[in-house]
Chains A and B, each alone.
Chain A
Amino acid sequence: MTEAARLRYRRGINSVMLTATGVCAVAIASVLLFILGYLVIKGARSLDLALFTKLPLPAGEIGGGLGNAIVGSAKILGLATLFGVPVGFLGGVYLAEYGNRGFAFAVRYTTDLLNGVPSIVIGIVAYTVIVMNMKTFSTLAGGVALGIMMIPIAVRSTEEFLRAVPDGLREGALALGTPKWRMLATVVIPAAKDGIITGIMLNLARVAGETAPLVLTVFGSPYWSPGISQPTASLPVSIYRYATSPYDDWHRQAWAAGFVLLMLILMTNIVARLIVARARPRGGR
C-alpha cells in the first residue's frame, strides 16, 4: 500500500468509527424518547379522574381506579424517608466531618456494599424482620425496605456536598470560637443545603419505582389501608399485577398508572438536576 492510500484508509476508518460511536450514543438516548413517547401516547389516552380517586373494582369489571395505590405509595415513601434519610444524612456528616481511621473506612465500605445489595434481597430481609414478627404484610415493612435502600445514596450525596464546602468557611467559624457542632449546623450544612436536598429528591425518585421489595412487604390490597400496620396497594406493584393480568381494562390502567409514575420520577429527576447545576459550588476543595 502506498503512503497516500494508507492515509486514506486510516482516515476512512476514522470517520466510520466516529459515525458508529455517534450512532450508539444517539440510539441509547432515543430509547428514552421512545419510552417517553410511548407512555405519553398510550398512558395519557388511558388516563381518567377515576384512576386517582376510585378503588379498584373486582377482577374483570370495567372501571375503578388506583386511588388506594397512590395513597399507599405516598405513605410508603414518607416512611422510607423518615427511616432512611436521617441515618444516611448523619452517617454522611460523620464521614465528611468526623470520620477517620478504621471505623470510617468500615462504614464507607459497608455503605458501598449496601448500595450493591439487590432490592429483592432487601425485601426478603424486611419480610423476615417485620412481616414475620407482625404476622402480616404492612405499609411499615415496605417503608423499612425502601428506607434501607435510601441509606447508601443519602450517605454519599451528603458526604459529597459537605466536602465541596470550602474549608475557609469552617476555619472562619472555628476561629470565632464556635464549637464544631455549631460550625457544622449553622455554617457548613446550610452551605451544602441545596445539594443535600436534591440528593434526597433523586434518592426518593430512585426508590419510588421499586417494585420487588414491595411485593414481599406490602403485598397489595383492593381497599384503602388506614394506618401503617396493614397490607396496602402501591403504584409499582399495581402496575405489575395489572400488566400481567388477563383483563384489558386492567392493562389500560397499568399504562395510565405507568405514565403517572414515570412522569413523577422524571420530573423529580429533571428538577433536581437543574437545582444541582445551579447550586454546585465552584472552587471548593
Chain B
Amino acid sequence: MTAANTASAISAARAPTAKTGARAFARRFFNGDEIARAIVTIAAAVILLVTLLIVFQLWTKSDAARERFGWGFLTSTTWDPSGEVFGALPFIYGTVVTSALALLLAVPIGLGAAIFLSELAPPRMSNALTFLIELLAAVPSVIYGLLGIYVMVPLLRSSVAPVMKSLFGWTPLFSGPFYGYSYFAAGLVLAVMILPFIVSVSRQILLAVPPEQREGALALGATQWETTWRVVVPFAKRGIVGSVFLALARALGETMAVTMVVGNTPKIAASLLGSGYSIASVVANEFPESAGLHQQALIELGLVLFALTIIVNGLARLLVASTSKMEARA
C-alpha cells in the first residue's frame, strides 16, 4: 500500500509534464510502471538517507564532547582518557603529516608511471603493467600492515634509517632515535597504497587529451618527452591535481596499515622518525573499549575525519569534472 501511495504522490508531483490525466496514470499504474518507478526511487532515496544518517549520528553522538571542549578540541594536545581530557591535535597532526609524506613520495613516481603508461609504452606493455597496478589497488590494508610490520619496519631500522640519518640527520625532521614504528613508516606504506589510484586516474585523464595536441607539438619538431611534458601534461593539469586530491582523501581515511606501523603514541613528535598516531588509528584502537566522554571524543574525531575527507574529495571532484568539461570543448 505504501508503494502505491508514494507512487501517486510522485506522479502528482510530475503531473504537468508527464502524460496528463488520471486515465494515463491509471494505465501506467496498472501495467506496473508507476510501481517500478516508486521502487527504484525509494532505493535512490535510501542512499540519500544513509548518507544523512552518517552525518546525523556523527553530530548527535558527539554532542557532549563538542559542548565540553568546543573548538579547543582541535588545538589541544592532551589526550588523557582516565582524566577525561581530550584534544585532537596529535591525531590531526599525525594524519596530515603521514598523508603529506605519502603524497610527496607517491606523486612523482605515480605521475611518471601514468605518463609512461598513457604516452610512451607500447600498448601491450601498457596493458599488462596497468593490469598489475590496478590489482595492487585491490590488496587489502591489513596485508599492507602485515608486510609493513614484518618486512618494511625491520628493513627501515637496519638499512634505510641509518642512511637517512647520516644524510639528513642535521634537520629536526630526521633527528632523534628511530625504533621503526613512526610517521615515516606510515607515510611510506600509505605512499604505496595510494600509488595505484594516482596512476590509474592520471592515466585515464592523460588518455583523454585530444591527439591533435600531441600531433601539433610533434609536427613542430618537439621530442616525445617535450610533447608530453610541455603540451599533454599541462593540458591535463587540473585533472591530475584532482587525482592527487582523490589519493589524499584515501590516505587521510586509511586505518589499519597506519595503525600497524605508526607507533600509536598520542604525542606530537617533531621528527618524522618519531612515533605518532593518526585519527583513524586511535578510533580503531580505543573505540571498542571506550565509553562515555571518551567514546564521544572518539566519535568527534570521526566527525573531524569525515569533514576533512569530504572537503578534499569535493575539491578533487571539482578539478576532475572541470577537466572533462575542457575535453568536451576541445
Contact = CB atoms under 8 A, between A and B. Distances in A.
Interface of A: 10-11, 13-14, 17-18, 20-29, 31-33, 35, 38-39, 86-91, 93-95, 97-99, 103-104, 106-107, 110-114, 116-125, 127-129, 137, 148, 151-152, 155, 179-182, 184, 205-206, 208-212, 215-216, 219, 236, 239-240, 243-244, 251, 254-255, 258, 261-262, 265-266, 269-270, 273
Nearest to A251: B150
B260 A244 contact: yes
Given A14-B224, A117-B309, A240-B142, A127 B287 contact: yes
A139 to B, nearest CB: 15
Contacts of B72: none
B280 A212 contact: yes
A205 B225 CA distance: 38
Nearest to B136: A32
Contacts of A31: 136, 192, 195
Given A88-B47, A90-B40, A254-B146, 13 more contacts: A14-B226, A21-B120, A26-B129, A31-B192, A35-B139, A39-B143, A87-B47, A107-B44, A113-B313, A118-B253, A121-B54, A181-B31, A236-B256
B94 to A, nearest CB: 14
Contacts of A117: 51, 54, 253, 306, 309-310
Interface stretch (B106-114, B154-162, B235-243): B106-114
Please indicate which of the listed interface residues B229, B280, B284 has the most CB atoms of chain A within 10 Å of its own CB: B284
A68 B108 CA distance: 44
Contact of A113 (B51, B141, B150): B51
Given A107-B48, A255-B146, A181 B140 contact: no
A160 B146 CA distance: 35
A10 B284 contact: no
For chain B, give the interface size range: 35 or more
Contacts of A114: 47, 50-51, 54
Contacts, number: 263
A113 B313 CA distance: 8
Contacts of A112: 313, 317
A6 to B, nearest CB: 12
A97 B280 CA distance: 38
A111 B121 contact: no
Contacts of B51: 110, 113-114, 117
Given A14-B225, A206-B138, A236-B140, A258 B146 contact: yes
Nearest to B43: A90
Contacts of A215: 284, 287-288
A180 B40 CA distance: 13
Interface in B277-291: 280, 283-284, 287-288
Contact of B116 (A21, A121, A155, A244): A21
B47 A27 contact: no
Contacts of B244: none
Nearest to B40: A94
A239 B15 CA distance: 56
B299 interface: yes
Contacts of A181: 31-33, 35-37
Interface secondary structure of B, over-half rule: helix
B196 interface: yes
B47 A107 contact: yes
Contact of A91 (B44, B58, B249): B44
Counting from the closest, the 9 A-B pairs by CB-CB distance are: A209-B140, A118-B253, A90-B43, A181-B36, A24-B112, A21-B116, A212-B255, A116-B313, A94-B40
A148 B48 CA distance: 12
Given A13-B223, A124-B58, A151-B47, A258 B143 contact: yes
B289 to A, nearest CB: 10
A120 B57 CA distance: 14
B302 to A, nearest CB: 4
A128 B295 CA distance: 10
B48 A125 contact: no
B53 interface: yes
B168 to A, nearest CB: 22
19 contacts: A13-B223, A14-B224, A21-B120, A28-B113, A32-B133, A32-B135, A87-B43, A94-B40, A118-B253, A120-B253, A120-B302, A129-B53, A181-B36, A206-B138, A211-B142, A212-B256, A243-B146, A243-B149, A266-B135
Contact of B43 (A24, A94, A119, A239): A94
B205 to A, nearest CB: 16
A250 to B, nearest CB: 12
Contacts of A266: 135, 138-139
Given A11-B223, A121-B305, A127-B287, A29 B132 contact: yes
A86 B46 CA distance: 11
B165 interface: no
A80 to B, nearest CB: 13
B256 A240 contact: yes
B145 interface: yes
B286 to A, nearest CB: 11
Nearest to B139: A35
A113 B129 contact: no
B38 to A, nearest CB: 10
A179 B34 CA distance: 10
